[in-house]
Structure 1
């Protein structure tokens, strides 16, 4: 898949680690930034893609209730007879969290991988992802935390950015007695065989991409892993635009 931006197109992405953060109501932690993102892009109505969970109606209603309270209309893609046409007509896309393998498998089955890729990169449609929806926005889903409850035809994802993200990134707890692999160890294992940079997004963090500029938003820092290099920490507000050229 060609991930190069069409001449004149301007990538608009809002990639959250999670839609639910401790101490906040659902999506509340991102209300100001997401509302500003939609308003900047003149979005009135959002097409929600609930494929990461099995109850599409309930999931769409949960997200739609919040967005409507903020002043944005919302409809589920499953309410349309032709999902590709729905994407082609949408003002903005929002793919929610759940199981990343199920989500990507369904996107392939519905013929949406290329459709979403082209709309976002060639026509500048705004894209919001949370958790699994953030995973599929990247090069591949190989750095997801989810269990492979189904098998997609490929791990290759939407390739809206040329790197990977690990949402819900967790640091080892001081004094922890569990001896299983840490999140960092698993990402380092990924880099034994893969070159793609991996951005570990902690809860409450969002990567905002506006054209050729990428900025870390939220209350937490992020941890960047690159093959054969020491991990780096970036505070909220950091300019991560260099990742778009990796």
Structure 2
């Protein structure tokens, strides 16, 4: 059996995520003792042994819908977003004189993955709505890596998941060299999933019980406010831009 919480698993949060999973497992009555941290995300998400994981909205709507069971969406209390929703933060270097995303036309853009809602899809929809065409593209593999690429001058602009950005502001001093330029429109947040054929409702009840049982310290560390039942159709309705040119 597999359980994973890899979407928001920065080193300072791993112990809290372990405790969160232990509470979910206790409420559920079964599941692996430990979270999996050494498997590819796609292997985890598509495994018939999946008990619990968290995916991103774009992989869910483009590949996983109909192949996994939707559990619910955690509410992280993201500023300017409704419960269970989030957005992407466009960041630049603090010493970059450009003040708006429009001024970054032709600049180098860093993104984590081409199937990321907050790293690729939301920023591209936002920028194209403002007739902003990026220049060179840099794929980094992770939101944190995109932020570091901008701070180090290897890219000029990046789209970062709003919760990851908030966590980095709390735990990663690289943010001292960065600043927020803009935010995209809110979209449904990163949903919890389980394997097709498993009871998503039973899992949701266990997650809700675990959130209530978390210590105030862990709930604050993870920014967890509760669980929201966002319909699958709301995920499927989000716009999907073309992938990066190969």
For normalisation by structure 1, the TM-score amounts to: 0.34
Instruction: Pick the structure with greater CA Rg.
Output: 2
